[in-house]
Amino acid sequence: MANRTIAPKIIDPVEFDLHLKPYEKKTLDNGIEVYAIDAGAEEVLQIEWVFFAGNWYEQQNMIAATTNFLLKNGTTSKTAFQISEHFEYYGAYLSRGCYNETSTITLHCLNKHIEELLPVVQELITDATFPEDELKLYKQNNKQRLSVNLKKCDFVANRHIDEYLFGIDHPYGKYSSAEAYDAVDRDQLKAFYDQFYRHGKCVLFVAGKIPANLFAQLNKYFGSLPLNNKALPEVAHPIVQSPNIGSPIRLSNDPDGVQGAVRMARPFPNRHHPDFLNVQVLNTLFGGFFGSRLMNNIREDKGYTYGIHSYLQNHIHSSAWMITTEAGKDVCDATVKEVYKEMKKLREKLVDDEELLLVKNFMMGSILGDLDGPFHIIGRWKNIILNDLDESYFYNSIRAIKSITPAELQELANKYLQPKEFYELVVV
Amino acid sequence: MIQFDRFSLANGLRVLVHEDHSTPMAVVNVLYDVGAKDESESKTGFAHLFEHLMFGGSVNVPSYDDPLQLAGGENNAFTTNDLTNYYCQLPAQNIETAFWLESDRMLSLAFSKKSLEVQRKVVCEEFKEHYINKPYGDVWFKMRELAYKVHPYKWQTIGKELSHIENAKIEDVKNFFFKHYRPSNAILVVAGDITTAQVKELAENWFGDIPAGEKYERNLPQEPKQTEPRRLEVKANVPLDAFYKCWHVGSRLDSTYYAMDLITEILGGGGSSRLYQALVKEKKLFSNIDCYHFGSTDAGLLAIEGKLVKGVKLQDAEKAVEEELTKIKNEQVSESELEKVKNKTESAIAFEDMSVMNRASSIAMYELLGDAQLMNTELSKYQQVTVADIQQLSNEIFDENNSNTLYYYAN
């Protein structure tokens, strides 16, 4: 029988050699780049059409998001119902999402049905009609959904903290409102669609068990579309940081609230900055996993919250270092205090080798677990490509994990974990 | 087909192994046959609180998470009314760490007072975050009590009330552990880049000497058949009126399960579903509407819920829902509509099976239902459902005497 008082020997994952499976890249006749990962045993496919049609390019709030949503709600030959019915009949999921620089249309399906599905995706990209009654219903139902969400302290806190970091007019800081929905006009949607979808800039990411003729199919339906032949407009969005950095802000959203949403954040450079990958390691130690300083203190020692996390925001132009939790109403201020305490500890005391090894091993094990599904792999590549990086970003992230020293971590903590440089918000 | 091997240890622990050498990871999934339904009505929320305590140190290992993270592993757990499931994933070379940790906490927890004090608070915050501090957060507390008069499904997994959690004592914790967390009550599934021979050796070595304990014999009161409609009205500080209705359906192993699951897809699964198209898009009575069921082991509930468009009366909304239910009872669905929801099921299964972790927990859950092999016959059972089955079952389920209705009014 085993000796339970001795931990079994392990191989330290920090010693592992990790590899990111290279993509296969092809180009359609009109210049659309297709990045593909052919892997996995299941006969499934995920295809993402990424358009540079996010809120970065809109001239009025909610135009980009509304265009992206409603392009599934009617073409000249199909009603919204018929479109949904078509995808659902084949057990496929056609989802869409609007982000900052980009927006996406994503298809998940069994690969045996792909030939029936691609022509309808083409219709959505070329022939969406934005019926007036669909727009009206969208406005009404989204305003209703918003009114429910505005009751939630975490929802409200998320909007405000981004507003402080970037400014209400910046793509990363703006948010929806009943007024913004009301002001959306069908002609604006059609114009946006025409410029940024029909004649837009598009990149394709494909993953799963890829049928041999898929590229030919993609070229057939998307290779002759007038995409990628016009330059995107150069749009500048100045970041306007709120002046209340470093001072506590307390908002009351619900007088009967029993918890508060705590958001603390500081501006941070994007992935191109030399500190980015090293700070990912510091972030993990600080608040990036279940064994972090923040979790161990604020959840596992004090019991103030069900979960507390820190992370670097996933933006292309400019990021932010964010700390987030929902804590009991009466312990929100105490939570904030403990967060600052943990920052101080990292600034003043070197992390010991044992703890650092745990963080490194955890990060490496985590990445290893993330590297063998086609959807995970293409997700990593998509992030790299859209951020104008290359595979060295992945390998540098591994190197950062393996080689970072306690002294370097302490230096970064002193550089970035300074309370006066953080916004501090609690919404009850 | 998902392949696996099965064996048992002398102490009753069931072990299943699913080899997959395309991944460098190993997954260790331990399922305990205990859920909120096994609690006493005056001490609810216990199974879930206990799940938290399983991470507070075991008799030989002061911390579960640290050694696992050091080995490059991640883990989580969840509790339902029926079961508690613990799962971790780590590089396959380090699998023995998972065996050490899981077996030690099956042997005995450390029962630390500090851990209980902290996790009581953590669970209270979880309670607040999901149920108290959210609009409509109390709905299923009320609906469960309305629908179940006798069966323990009448309370939520999180607990009936905060005070049950706040009053939990260390003695209660010890009793709960030795009653439910025994090898004879557990299913161990190991999946990924491992072999059955390897797992046999590890299982015997680490779990073999844990005393079998007394097998927990479950003897739950059966919910008597509901014979008349039940209704409830609630007023709360929310922005929109909402409609909730649920009906009793069969157990997970009932032969009607598959038709029932497909009925929820026909009615409420996606943009082309009947309730969405008729009530959100055409009649514009609801701003969103859903139809789903709880997937519980014992006889469960099928629910329809939605938020009303401002200005619409709850009575009119309910009438419109009833019209759709009358349709599905009186007219057979078309063959292509049935084909659609079967295709959706096939697709959903394929996507789920991509993940080794999902496969491992599915194997455990089907084994809990009686036979892990059931997993491989699911799709064919769905495919055998006929339009006549759908119609017949709709008539059985959507009987007003079987219904529980909640009108949730904005203040």
Does any CB of chain B come closer than 8 Å to the CB of residue A406? no
CB A310 within 8 A of CB A322: yes
Proportion of chain B above pLDDT 70, given as a percent: 100
Per-residue pLDDT at A2: 84
CB contact under 8 A, A137 and B24: no
Q: Using DSSP bridges, classify how beta strands A319-328 and A202-208 pair: parallel, antiparallel or unpaired.
A: unpaired
C-alpha angle B192/B198/B203, rounded to 5°? 95
Q: What pLDDT is stored for residue A299 in this prediction?
A: 95
Q: pLDDT per residue over A173-220, tens digit each?
A: 999 999 999 999 999 999 999 999 999 999 999 999 999 999 999 999
Distance (Å, whole) CA A171 – CA A64: 11
Q: Do B125 and A305 touch (CB under 8 A)?
A: yes
- Is A88 close to B271, i.e. CB distance below 8 A? yes
Average of per-residue pLDDT values in chain A: 97
Q: Tell me the pairing of strands A33-38 and A24-27.
A: antiparallel
Confidence of residue A120 (pLDDT cuts 50, 70, 90): very high
Please give the pLDDT value at position B245. Answer: 98
Res A1 pLDDT > 90:
no
Distance from the Cα of residue B289 to its chain's centroid: 21
Q: Which of the residue ranges A163-167, B176-180, B244-248 would you say has the lowest mean pLDDT? A: B176-180
As a whole number, mean pLDDT of residues A366-389 equals: 96
Interface of A with B in 76-115 (CB under 8 A): 80-81, 83-85, 88-93, 108-110
Q: Residue type at A98?
A: C
Which residues, in sequence order, are CB contacts of B129 under 8 Å at separation 6+? A259, A306, A326
H or E element in which residue A108 lies: strand A103-110
Residues from chain B contacting residue A140 (CB–CB below 8 Å): 284, 287, 309
Q: How far is B35 from chain A (nearest CA, A)?
A: 21
What is the predicted pLDDT for the residue at A372?
83
Instruction: Determine the average pLDDT of the residues in B163-187.
Output: 93
Q: Structure tokens of A335?
A: 């939570």
| Mean pLDDT of all residues in B79-106 | 97
Of B69, B107, B350, the CB nearest to A42: B350
Decide: B29 and B364 in contact? Cβ < 8 Å: yes
| pLDDT at site B269 | 86
Residues in chain B within 8 Å Cβ distance of A41? 22, 354
User: Within 13 Å of residue A100, how many CA atoms lie on the same side as its CB?
Assistant: 20
**Top-confidence residue, A210 or B174:** A210
Cβ under 8 Å to A: B residues 277-296: 277, 280-281, 284, 287-288
- pLDDT tens readout for residues B16-65: 999 999 999 999 999 999 999 999 999 999 999 999 999 999 999 999 99
pLDDT, residue B215, reads 86
- Can you give the pLDDT at residue B360? 98
Cβ contact, residue pair B22, A259, below 8 Å:
no
3 state DSSP class of B181 = coil
* Cβ count near B22 (within 10 Å): 12
* Cβ atoms of residues B267 and B275 within 8 Å: yes
- Tell me the pLDDT band of A329, cut-offs 50, 70 and 90: very high
A168 secondary structure, DSSP code: T
Q: Is B297 helix (H, G, I), strand (E, B) or coil?
A: coil
Give the pair of three-digit tokens for residue B210: 């844990």
The residue type of B169 is K
Q: How far is A306 from chain B (nearest CA, A)?
A: 5
* Cα gap A224→A208, rounded to integer Å: 25
- Chain B neighbors of A145, CB-CB under 8 A: 287-288, 307
Nearest residue to B84 (alpha-carbon basis) of B117, B56, B106: B106
B39 CA: distance to closest CA in chain A (Å): 23
Res B112: pLDDT: 87
Name which of B66, B67, B346 is nearest A91 (Cβ-Cβ): B346
pLDDT in tens, A44-99: 999 999 999 999 999 999 999 999 999 999 999 999 999 999 999 999 999 999 99
Is the Cβ of B237 closer than 8 Å to some Cβ of chain A? yes
Asked if residue A389 has pLDDT above 90, the reply is yes
pLDDT (0 to 100) of residue B408: 98
> Would you state the pLDDT for residue B271?
94
Nearest to A365 among B90, B240, B339 (CB): B90
**ipTM for the whole complex:** 0.94
Q: What pairs with residue B236 in β-bridges?
A: B410
Chain A residue closest to B63 (CA)?
A291
**What pLDDT shows up at residue B173?**
87
pLDDT at A61: 98
pLDDT confidence tier of residue B274, bands split at 50, 70 and 90: very high
Q: What's residue B67's pLDDT?
A: 97
For B237, the token pair is 């500080």
For the segment A253-262, the average pLDDT, to the nearest whole number, is 95
- In this structure, are residues A54 and A100 in contact, taking their beta carbons and an 8 Å threshold? yes
- CB contact, 8 Å: B1 with chain A? no
Tell me the shortest Cα–Cα distance from A4 to chain B, in angstroms.
6
Q: B283: nearest CA in chain A?
A: A137
Supply the DSSP string of B29-64, one letter for each residue.
Answer: EEEES--GGGSBTTB-SHHHHHHHHTTS-BSS-S-S
**A89:B24 CB<8 A:** no
Local structure of residue B354 (DSSP, 8 states): T
Give percent above pLDDT 70 in chain A: 100
Tell me the residues of chain A between 357 and 376 that have a Cβ less than 8 Å away from chain B: 357-358, 361-362, 364-366, 368-369, 371-373, 375
**What is the per-residue pLDDT across B281-330, written as a single tens digit (0 to 9) for each?**
999 999 999 999 999 999 999 999 999 999 999 999 999 999 999 999 99
- Separation CA B219–CA B217 (nearest Å): 6
Q: What pLDDT sits at residue B30? A: 98
How many other CB atoms are found less than 10 A from the CB of residue B230? 17
B21 touches chain A (CB under 8 A): no
Average pLDDT of B61-80? 96
Query: In whole angstroms, what is the distance from residue B406 CA to residue B234 CA?
Result: 7
CA distance B247 to chain A (A): 26
Task: Determine the distance in angstroms separating the CA of A311 from the nearest CA of chain B, rounded to an integer.
Answer: 18
Contacts of B280 (CB under 8 A, 6+ apart): A137, A141, B286, B287, B288, B289, B306
Give the residue-averaged pLDDT of A268-296.
98
Partner-chain residue, chosen from B128, B206, B287, that has the shortest CB–CB distance to A328:
B128
In chain B, residues with a C-beta closer than 8 Å to the C-beta of A84 are 270-272
Token pair for A235: 């749009």
- The answer, for B5 touching chain A at a CB cutoff of 8 Å, is no
Q: Within an 8 Å CB–CB cutoff, is residue A260 touching chain B?
A: no
pTM of the model: 0.95
Residue from the list A10, A141, A302 with its beta carbon closest to the beta carbon of B70: A10
